[in-house]
Amino acid sequence: MNPFVFENPTKIRFGEGAVSALSDEIVRYGKTVLFLYGCGSIHKNGVYESVKKQLDRAGVTVIEHSGVQGNPRLSHAREGVELAKKHKVDLILAVGGGSVIDESKAIAAGALYDGDIWEFYAKTARITGALPIISVLTLPATASEMNGFSVLTNDETREKWALGAAPITNPRVSFLDPAATVTLSAEQSGFAAADIIAHCTEGYFTTSAKELLPQDEIIEGLVRSVAVSMDRIVKDPADIEARASLMWSATLGWNGIAQMGIPGMGLPCHALEMPLSGIYDIAHGAGLSIITPVWLAEMAEVHGERIIRFGERCLGVTGGGVPAVVMAMESLYRRIGAPLKLSEVGVFDIDIPRCTADAFEAFRLRGVTGYDEARISRIYSAIL
């Protein structure tokens, strides 16, 4: 048995039109709001309008900070910190996907810190306080709306690092309206699904002690939910019930519940993916669907039993061992539109020594053993 502490105070408001309660929540946290969003998709899906209406209704002062990119940048977050300090904002309103919410955590913590926010990511400083965050989610994938994690890319060095400061950096309230996700492209949805599946399975595959029975059941159930939802979304992108299932699966997949009691979550596929999205700026979910099948094949001897169980319970694989599970996983990714090779996302050359060095360092920092440079480099050699 592995002891654990679970604490997740984020309040979730889920459903069509959930945002109509946004002003009620905002006024509980203050009068000056930093309104953070991305590169304009919220202008297309109507979310910007409904959020603005709520901000007006709340009667708060609004400082807009737009332009958050996928793989959010340190420089943009630093600008947000400046704005938050200058205008003495009371809370951050993050409207978008995981990138926007991740960056909002950096700003929320940075606003109460005298040093530079990169110190939090480089682990030379610890977050001890943060402004309250309210999020309105438009792209379900990372569960950043219900956890304390944040990933930021240093634009100067291209290093991409993560931090976790739950519950300090958890959003106080997150609004999840599946209707806001029906305009997502097939590609965005497929990448998101690959990310959700990776969150669910990383610990599941690698753990040596899976004695807490509900955990395997929840993880397997979530993966099946994602697969069924995605099959429906591919057929009909406007299938709002399937969008709702995908959205709620994403939150449950990485809000901590499914991970409790799993020791030594090394997150190997995430560690191997981070150099890809960090260096080549590809979508994180795309990197994960590219890495995962190769990782499964590479780790067959170490994690074979768990991989085969997964194949049986989540992919309907009967017999054929790990190679059959790898094929079924590739087939799932193909079906949902997630890539299997770097070349499919426009990357035709890979700097294997550099990626290997970055991933090796990530494994070292997390204390994950079993990944020497030969193994890591073998994985990268197979993904072009």
Residues that bind a copy of itself (CB under 8 A): 1-18, 178, 211-215, 217-218, 220-222, 224-225, 228-229, 240-241, 244-245, 248-249, 252, 257, 260-261
Task: Considering the complex, state which of residue 136 and residue 340 has its C-beta at the smaller distance from a copy of itself.
Answer: 136
Hey, CA dihedral for 53, 56, 60, 66, is it positive or negative?
positive
The conformation of residue 104, written as its DSSP 8-state character, comes to: H
Q: Which is nearer to a copy of itself, 242 or 338 (CB)?
A: 242
Q: Rounded to the nearest whole angstrom, what is the least distance from the CB of residue 14 to a copy of itself in the complex?
A: 5
The residue among 74 and 219 lying less far from a copy of itself, judged by its C-beta, is: 219
Q: Which residue has the tokens 């209406």?
A: 53
At closest approach, how far in Å is the CB of 252 from a copy of itself?
6
Least CB distance to a copy of itself at residue 206 (A)? 19
Q: Quick check: helix, strand or coil at residue 138?
A: coil
Q: C-beta of 313: minimal distance to a copy of itself in Å? A: 10
Continuous H helices in 33-157:
41-44, 47-58, 74-86, 98-110, 118-121
Is the CB of 201 or the CB of 249 nearer to a copy of itself? 249
Least separation in angstroms between CB 249 and a copy of itself: 5
Residue 24 or residue 49: which is nearer to a copy of itself going by CB?
A: 24
Considering beta carbons, is residue 248 or 310 the nearer one to a copy of itself?
Answer: 248
- Reported for 77-81, long-range contacts at CB under 8 A and 24+ positions apart, including other chains, are 77/103, 77/106, 77/107, 77/110, 77/117, 77/152, 78/110, 78/116, 78/117, 80/34, 80/36, 80/104, 80/106, 80/107, 80/110, 81/106, 81/107, 81/110, 81/111, 81/117
Query: What is the smallest separation between the CB atom of 284 and a copy of itself, expressed in angstroms?
Result: 22
170: left (phi over 0), alpha (psi -120 to 50) or beta: beta
